[in-house]
Amino acid sequence: MIRARAVEKRYGRRRALRPVDFTLERGGFLVVTGPNGSGKTTLLRLVAGLAAPSAGELEVEGGRGTLGYLGHEPLLYRDLTALENLDLYGRLYRVPERRERIGMLLERYGLWDVRGERVGSYSRGMTQRLALCRALLHEPELLVLDEPFTALDVDGAELLDCQLAELAGAATVVLTTHEPARVDPLATATLALA
């Protein structure tokens, strides 16, 4: 599903990601670890297609429509409600049976009651849960998650554990985390960045 050969990223003089090689088969679960500044976020952005490598080859199967991304920012509109945010993304991703899917996700992640409130009024945990809904909305085949547990509250983290356990094997997952132990049982591969 993903093949990386000597992939690196430079922003002018600054080296954001040193050359890295790895392969991840379909259904694989890759956990990326490394200290701050080692380029974990950069690597995930490259895989997601938000940036292009400065050198090397990166092949990611599937188009933008099959990829779900969760970054450090929620990628949401603070002045829109949860429903409005997901509705917009649902349209852009051409999600079939949009309303049902949105309802299902909001309920599952405990956001149904606040669906009509501005995202700007949510707590950090709630925002992250909604961001997760956004990433999962179109049932992506490749899920790219950048430290998803960091901003989640306890309930949210448990929900994510469940979700990842469900997805393992069915979808391909690339994930960075500061607590690798949490996702160890699910991981099929690890990548440690220096």
Q: How far apart are CA 93 and CA 30, in angstroms?
A: 25
Q: How far apart are CA 69 and CA 154, in angstroms?
A: 21
**CB-CB contact of 39 with 30 (8 Å):** no
Q: How far apart are CA 164 and CA 149, in angstroms?
A: 12
Name residue 168's beta-bridge partners.
Answer: 171
Site string for another protein, 95-134 (x = CB under 8 A): ------------------------x--------------x
From the list 6, 25, 50, 107, which residue makes contact with another protein (rule: CB under 8 A)? Answer: 50
Counting contacts by CB under 8 A, is residue 186 touching another protein? no
Counting contacts by CB under 8 A, is residue 13 touching another protein? yes
> Under rule CB under 8 A, how many of the chain's residues touch another protein?
35
**CB-CB contact of 187 with 29 (8 Å):** yes
Q: How far is the CB of 82 from another protein (least distance, A)?
A: 12
Counting contacts by CB under 8 A, is residue 10 touching another protein? yes
Counting contacts by CB under 8 A, is residue 49 touching another protein? yes
* Residue 62, burial from CB neighbour count under 10 angstroms (0-12, 13-18, 19+): middle
Q: Which residues bind another protein (CB under 8 A)?
A: 10-14, 48-52, 54, 63-65, 67, 69, 71-80, 84, 88-89, 91-94, 119, 134
